[in-house]
Each structure stands twice: as C-alpha cells, then as structure tokens.
Chain A
Amino acid sequence: MTFSADSYFASVMGEFESLAPATKMQISRRSLLKLTGAAGAGLVLAFAIAPDAEVAAATTSKEFAPNAFLRVSPDGSILIYSKGPEIGQGIKTAFPMIIAEEMDAAWRDVQVEQAPINPKVYGRQSAGGSTSIPNSWDQLRRAGAAARAMLVSAAAKQWKVPEAECTTGDSIVMHAASKRQAKYGELALAAATLPVPDPTTLKLKTRAEYRLLGTRVSGVDNRKIVTGQPLFGIDVAMPDMVYAVYEKCPAVGGKVKRANLDAIKGMQGVKDAFVLEGNGTVSEVMPGVAIVATSTWAAFKAKAALQVEWDESSASRDSWTGAVLEAQKIAKQTGKQSITKNGDVDAALKSAAKRLEAFYSYPFLPHASLEPQNCTAWFKGDAIEMWVPTQTPERALQGVAHVLGLEQDKITMHQTRAGGGFGRRLVNDYACEAAAIAQKVSAPVKLTWTREDDMRHDFYRPGGFHAFTAGLDAKGKLVAWRDHFITFTSDGKSPVTGGNMPPAEFPLLLVANSELQQTMLPLMTPCGSWRAPRSNAVAFAVQSFIHELATAGGRDHVEFLLEIFGEPRWLPPANAGALNTGRAAAVVKLAAEKAGWGKPMPKGRALGLGFHFSHAGHFAEVAEVSVDAHKHITVHKVTVVGDIGPIVNMSGAENQCQGAVIDAISTMMNLQVGIENGRIQESNFTEYPILRMKDSPQVDVHFIQSDFTPTGVGEPAFPPAAPAIANAVFNASGMRIRSLPIRSQGVSI
C-alpha cells in the first residue's frame, strides 16, 4: 500500500514549477490556430500553449483542437472559454479579462464558459501554486491581440484603408480619417476568412494602455451564486441518480476485516452495500465500505449504523503528542542533516554580542473546504462520464483510468466549480472512489463525503518545529542564524509534502553565517500542499524570531528587516521563484507607512510587522492588535502590501488578500488537528472553529504595481499575517507566541 502521497505531490507541484513564468515558451504562428469547423459562426480563434513541436504534430492529426478559444459571433457576442478550474481564486473572471483587454472587447459583450476537461484538446488544466496567471499571461494576451489584428484587417480591407490607420475600442474598429466604424460582430465573418497573424509579430499593449486590466470586475458566476443556481460538484443531479457514501479506516492503511453489510442492506432507502479492496494508493482508492442509497440522507444514516472491524496490522499509529515530546528532546541536539551552511555559524555565535535561542512549533491542519469532497460518476459498460470538482482534472483523468483500467479516451470528465480548494483538490481520491463505486452500480452515482470524512481523510499540512539560535553584533546587526528544523518523513529519505525547507529560504542567503539543519520524524499520516505550502507555517516561526532579535538588539523592526535585505538585488536561484530584496524592502516600507508605523497607541494596543516571499509574491503586512488583561486578543486591522506585478482584476486580487488574511488569523488563533493512534482527533467545525465574522478585522490592501510579469495572488498574502499578529501581540502585551494555535495557550480571540 502507498499511504504517502508525497511522490504524487512532488510530480504535481513539479509540473506547476516547471511551467513557472521564467519558462520561455516558443509561440509561433502554428500555436495560434483558427478553427475552421464552426462555419458561419464568425471569427473563431483558438490558441495553444503547447510548445511548437507538439502543436505542429498535433495539428496534423485529427485530434487537435486548441486548448482554449474565443468566438466572436455576428450578433456581437464574444464567448471565451476558461480552461482552468475555478476554486474560488477568481480565475474564471481573470483569464477572460486578459484576452478581452488585448482584444479591445467591451466586457459587457463577453460571456464566459467553463471549458470541458480534455488535456488533449486544452493542454494543461490545473490550478495550484498560484501559477495560473503567470503561466497563461503571454498566451492569453497574444490570443486576444491576434483576434484584434484580424478584426482590424477585415475592416481595413472593407474600407480599403491601411490597417495602421485603424484603431479599436469597446468592440469596435474605427477609422478616424474617413469617420467609419464597424462593430466586431459585423466584422466577424470577414475576419474568419483571414489568415491568423504570426503571434510573435503582434504588438501587445503597454500597461498605460490598459482599460480593463486593473479595474474592478465582479466574478462572472456571481449572479448564479447569489440566486442558488447549480454550479458546484455537489449540485450535480441526473435522472435515476443514486447516492453513495464511503467509509474508510480512521487510521490510514487499515483494511476491512468484516462489516455488518446485511444489516445495512436491510435499511430503508439502501440499495446496496459492498466492500472495496481499493488499490491501496492513498491518492486513489484505499480499502473501505461503500453504501449506495436512494438519497444522501439514507446513505448518511446507513453510514452511521455501519459497523466495520478493521485489520489495522499495517495501519498508522502516528501520535502528535508523541511527536511533540520527541521534537522537544531533539531540539536540544544537533540536527541529523545539514541542508545548507554559509560562513561559520559557530564562530559567529561565539563572538556575538548577543545570542538568542527559541523553539517554535505549529500543528497539522486539514483543508476543510466548505464543500466536502464529492464526485458524480456514471459508468456505461466500457466508458465512464464524470463530474468532478478538482484542481487537477488531468490527474483525475489519469487516476480514474488507472483505477478502472480504462483508456483515457473512454473517460468523459466535466469540471464543476469547486467550493474551495486550498490544495485539497490537487488530489482526486474522491473521484477515484466514485469511479470504483460507479463501476458496481448501473446508474449515475453521486459520492458525497460527510464533513467528518472530509476532516479525517485529508492530506494534511504537516506540523513542524524550529529550534533557532542566532547572534547579534554590538550594533544589533544579525550576524549568525541557525535553524534546526524538525519535520516528518514518510519514506525516511525526504520530508513529507509541505514539510521541507530549501537552502534559499529567507533569511539564509542574507546572513553571512547561516545554517539550516534538519531532523525528520517518521510519519504515516498523508501530507499535502495546503495554501502556500511550507510558507504558511515557516513564515510564522522565522518572522517572529526575527522580531525577537530586533527587540533583543533594541532595534526598530522595520529598520532591522531593511538592514537584512541590504542592497536591491535578485537572490539565487535565478528564476521566477527568487526573492528581490528591492521589491521586499518596498513592500515593507509601504506597509509601515500605510499602517502608521510609530504612531502613538493606547496601552495594550500595538502594531506588528510580518514579511514573507512566496509564490513569486513579495508581501508585507502590519497588524493592529489589542490584548486585554485576560489574554483576550482583538485584531483591529491588517494592512497588506503586495508586489505581484500588474493586477489583472483589482476586485478579485483584493478579495484574495482579504480572504488570505482572515484564513491566516483563523488558523493561527484556533485551528489544529491532533493525531493519536493514527486517528485524526477532530471531525467537524465544533472542534475546528473557523473564524467567524465577529472576529474578523478590517483588511486594507495595497499593491505596488511593478512592471514584472504578473504573478498569482491566491497564496502569498497568507504567510505574513500570523507573524504580524504574533509580533503585535508581543508589542502590546510582552507575551511572545511561539506555538500555534494560540488558543492552546490560554489566549482567546
């Protein structure tokens, strides 16, 4: 059995990284294709993100259809397909905005539809690592620009004027000298007969020319959302559909010994109950009992009555309390591995004017998307049709093909809107389970996980520990830094997903004498990517300890950070994942200014700062916090400053930052799951109290719109919030928070 999903995540995340913005994709005429199949439909322009060779090969076969396209109809409507999964990050609005901008289309003419899942047609269709925007930016812009060029060309031909004299705007081509103009719809049929221009010759707009990008656009699905229309995976309904639940061993790796299947089958509304052996791969199907019923409620009720005896001989016996004790012991020792070493830390510590030590820890977390995992599948003998709320539809396709032993072209997969992702839906275990159940049912079947299933069978953000030692010179400058990172491993070789620290982690490259040591504890509990993997936890520890150092040296926190950044420059590695100290300093300075750093405050109230760089985003946040005599914390306001390049949708980007900060407060204050005897201890929101409106602060968001390639905003605003608040709590009360969640230390919000 494969309990760990680490190799699965390595491959998924590797795919995201390999497509990061630094990657130069060759775009040529061949990668912009005109669809000829839709005669009479007007201009239909397709574009491919695949590298040249693949496109060239694909166009010769009948298989090829492009990965996304726009269509201008003679009635003037413009249809844009959004290829990527919408999980609440706003991509279904942002992608089409980029195309519409370069096309000079009026946004009111644009309709957006979700593209079906078909990687052969659409290329990569995934959402993760905040990479959707940077990876698609150039391709989408060129697609829009090509459409515009063809519409201009059609008009110029009709009017017998030079193309260069024509201008566009608001879905109209204009020729000022002859006072002529034509709407895009009127030109669509003529444009469709023209050759597609070479995309590399297209002139793209400069930022000053943007009319749509950077404005506030309301989400394209909002009307459907507020009127309760079916959009989500869990909303899928078919005639004669049946409803399934699936019970797995609460300790990962357990197998079914026996279950009271006959009693279950006799229950009202139950159609069938059976054991699935599964294929033992935790990212696909683990052993369990499936119940199929006439309604979700009948299935839930039967699940509650289900009694399974598990064979736990090879199941997890993980214990979080055990790990904490072990880590506390190990923290006093030298780390087993040295991940990176710069200068001479021991010598620098010896000669340091001040030396500081601290031990930080944070717990395991489930993703807890509000829509529980679910999937609808309809097995039709030798083929299957599925409706999946997922972040990685291609992986779902591969997983289902593997589980059923089907060729991928026998699988039709539809992507639905997902009620939250946060990294949970990078894995498609629930889709594989639905497929396996559907194979035994002669009707469409909707598998719904209960909230309890969802919380107990996740791919968790791993907990972790940092034993820091650092030294300051006589002027309070940071001269030595050592982090002994205690994490987990499932294979004894490398850390679990989300539980690794690279040699470039801040501030290792910026301190003359620095070292990262690592010790790994064994773990069977599956781990996975969780919004801003690694950063979501590491930022709390590192940025809090930096504040401890600033305080110990009698330094101002802002000034101390700026000194660490030093001269403006790019740090290694030389790719899009690299930190630029100039951009970092700029966000810190602006956050301090916007939040009123240094302003007088009443007793018990203070500001705190946090900085973190992740997912190519430079973010600084300042929290304004009060602490009362009963250790009750009020977060009044969080000021966010980010540099992610130009903003695509201002409303969406702000919404992501506000949400990330509230998510971060929720997490640092209240959230954790325990693990004992391999079992996740929490199961519903009573024990996992996500932040409520009354405790959520005002969140002010500012962007430094630099001219770098735009990068993603779903994740990088999360990490700096927890240290900003923890540092503010210290400044307000003298209480230092070194362990999350802070609720476990008698502090309340």
Chain B
Amino acid sequence: MMNSMNNQALVSELENRFSLLNVDLVSESQVAIDISNNDVHTVLAYLKSLGWKQLSMLTNVDWIEEGKYQLVYIIFNWDNPIYIQVRTKIERENPVFRTVTSVYPGAKYYERDVHEFFGVKFEGNPDSEKQLFLENWDDLPPLRKDFDAKAYSDRKYAKREYTKDFSNKGGKK
C-alpha cells in the first residue's frame, strides 16, 4: 500500500501524525516538509519504516539575514520514487544539532561534510569534526555566506600580473 502512495497521500499521512510547519509539493516526485528540531528524528525514523531507506543527501542552507541555518535531509525510496526533503532550521550562531546516525548510519559522512563547510556540530557523532575534504583549513567554514572566497583567494594564492589591461570596462574605451 505504501509503495503506491502518491505525494499528496504521503503528505496527509504525515500531517496526521506530526505537526508540519510547512509543506511544499515541489513536483510529483518531490515533497519538501519543514518540521521543528525535535521532530526530525521521529519523522526520519517513521519515513524510513515506510521505505524511505536511503539518505541521499544531507546539506545545509545559510539564511544569513534570518540568522538561521536550515538542515535539509533528502531521502529516497527505491520502490516509490518520491524524494522527500525533511527540513529544519537551527541557530546560525554556534550551530549544534543531534546526529541522525542512529536512523541513517550513512549520515556519518554527510555530517562531517556539513561540519566542515558550515561549522555545524553534530552531538553524538564523534567523527563529525574530523576533516573530510578540506585539508588544513585555516579560516571560516567556506560555504557560510559571510565567508569571502575572493578575499581568501587573493590573500592565499599568487596571482598573475598583467602588463596590459585586459579588463572589460563595460565596452567603454
């Protein structure tokens, strides 16, 4: 029965059980739900029991003006091709969240990734602070919106000097 569920049925099923802050029916094969921090583990565990067994991605969005980070868990069901984005907002200052490795063990690496690029700490995942992609990183986490990649590049990497001016001045001479 679960495997023939369409995205509307899925959403009403979820609405019956949990308090969803917001629902987005992105397309026939994509649903996005916003939930509170405390619901994340139960919702993920419930969806896993319905067949959304694969955590395809854990990522983070920096809403700098709001002062929030938004964690996005994208999960997939191989029998019923609907991607579900489970989203929750956390504080941007000293961001901390609880690990979901108890539900999706593969989150171990995604959490390391999010820690490295956004600085989110994941309680309960002892590996989450190990370096993954960036080696010997020495600045703000680079995908934060207030990280200035150009300034970092200018400071750190030698630039080529040009004797001729090749810059485009909007077509003016």
A and B form one complex: no
B residues bordering A, Cβ < 8 Å?
none
A residues bordering B, Cβ < 8 Å?
none
